[in-house]
Amino acid sequence: MDIRGKKILVIGGAGFIGSHVVDELRKDDVKEIIVYDNFCRGSKENLEDALKDPRVRIYEIGGDILQTDILAGAVKQSNAVVHLAALWLLQCYEYPRAAFDVNIRGTFNVLEACRDANIERLVYSSSASVYGDAVQIPMTEDHPFNNRTFYGATKISGEAMCRAFNDRNGLPYVGLRYMNVYGARQDYKGTYIAVIMKILDRIDQGQPPIVYGDGSQAYDFIYVTDVARANVCSLKSNASDRFYNVGSGTRTSIKEVCELLLDLTGSKLKIQYEPAGKTFVTNRIGSTERAEKDLGFKYKVNLREGLKHLIEWRNAHKALVAERARQAR
């Protein structure tokens, strides 16, 4: 799809990933970027620079995907849609009925609105949570759904609905399965990336960073600007009716992340190990081959560089970080 001169609707565009998608779209010659967000998790602070661009606006009437008439109005003003709105993993664990409403019914609402408006392309944000713990490493997109969380179940449902709307209505879409996304503007609500913020909090306070268990839990960390770029690559690609891993393909343990953070901050503190609590997934690294081949997407920001960017952002936004930490308690 040629996105030049097009209007792009970013659902969840004030959020952690969504605001970076907005920024990435601003690099292209698009006509308009419409942010549709209920600000449950997103914030106007995330859009502070973007809103200086006359092509960017927040949809004035509302931003909730459960309000079907308002949603339909926003979609009708657009040529393409990026759908990122969802309740996160722990919310889905604690409030499964709310998760059903937002992640499943809300996604159906988005698909229905896209069908009715003859949208040229939809990019749906899924998650590596559909895989659960790895059966084999790296996980290709054909890896079995080994998920046991309600969050993962909602994402599997979203994927199946995308495929059904494509089969019945010809709705063109691409689905993205994010690995562990981290970076500037992140909050404390991501189950696996929140540990990075909490480690940095402890280091800032002069307290030893805490790692639960032995720290061998390993994940595929991907910097948020790379994820935003994957969304724009998906809009521009000719791929359709397929799902793609968005990750670095690199295995990094929590212990290694903690050691990197100590090194980058120049701290001499030692890691404090505590008994492991509830962990949903302990081993997950994705294959990047399909995304490279079909979408032309390959990550650029390595973990050390990404963590350095995150630390710089934290230092420049201390009041905002403190407020988000307070809200997470």
Dump pLDDT digits (tens) for 148-170.
999 999 999 999 999 999 999 99
Q: What is the pTM of this model?
A: 0.95
> Tokens 């690099």 appear where?
27
Domain-located, residue 293: no
State whether 126 and 197 are in the same domain: no
State whether 14 and 152 are in the same domain: yes
State whether 207 and 145 are in the same domain: no
Q: CB neighbours of 36 closer than 8 A, spacing ≥ 6?
A: 9, 10, 11, 12, 13, 59, 63, 65, 71, 74, 85
State whether 126 and 24 are in the same domain: yes
Residue of 151, 192, 223, 244 with catalytic role: 151
Can you tell me the distance from the alpha carbon of 14 to that of 40, in angstroms, rounded to the nearest whole number? 10
Is 223 marked active-site?
Answer: no
Q: Could you read off the pLDDT of 10-28 as tens digits, one per residue?
A: 999 999 999 999 999 999 9
Q: What's the total number of domains in the chain? A: 2
State whether 28 and 59 are in the same domain: yes
State whether 229 and 305 are in the same domain: no
State whether 136 and 233 are in the same domain: yes
Identity (one letter) of the amino acid at 85? A
State whether 59 and 171 are in the same domain: yes
State whether 175 and 315 are in the same domain: no
State whether 38 and 99 are in the same domain: yes
Range of the domain at 45: 7-179+224-246
Domain-located, residue 265: yes
Helix (H, G, I), strand (E, B) or coil at 221: strand
Q: How confident is the model at residue 301 (pLDDT cuts 50, 70, 90)?
A: very high
Q: What CATH number is given to the structural domain containing 32?
A: 3.40.50.720
Section 172-178 average pLDDT: 98
**pLDDT at site 329:** 65
Nearest to 271 by CA among 284, 292, 256, 288: 256
State whether 190 and 73 are in the same domain: no
Can you tell me the distance from the alpha carbon of 256 to that of 277, in angstroms, rounded to the nearest whole number? 19
**pLDDT at site 189:** 73
Domain-located, residue 47: yes
Q: How confident is the model at residue 33 (pLDDT cuts 50, 70, 90)?
A: very high
Domain-located, residue 295: no
Cβ atoms of 65 and 204 within 8 Å: the answer is no
Cα four-point dihedral sign 68, 55, 184, 234:
positive
Domain-located, residue 274: yes
Domain-located, residue 11: yes
State whether 15 and 130 are in the same domain: yes
> What backbone torsions phi and psi does residue 129 show, to the nearest 5 degrees?
-60, -20
**pLDDT at site 282:** 76
Domain-located, residue 292: no
Cα four-point dihedral sign 71, 24, 142, 131:
negative
Q: What CATH number is given to the structural domain containing 204?
A: 3.90.25.10
Domain-located, residue 105: yes
pLDDT of residue 279 exceeding 80, the answer is no
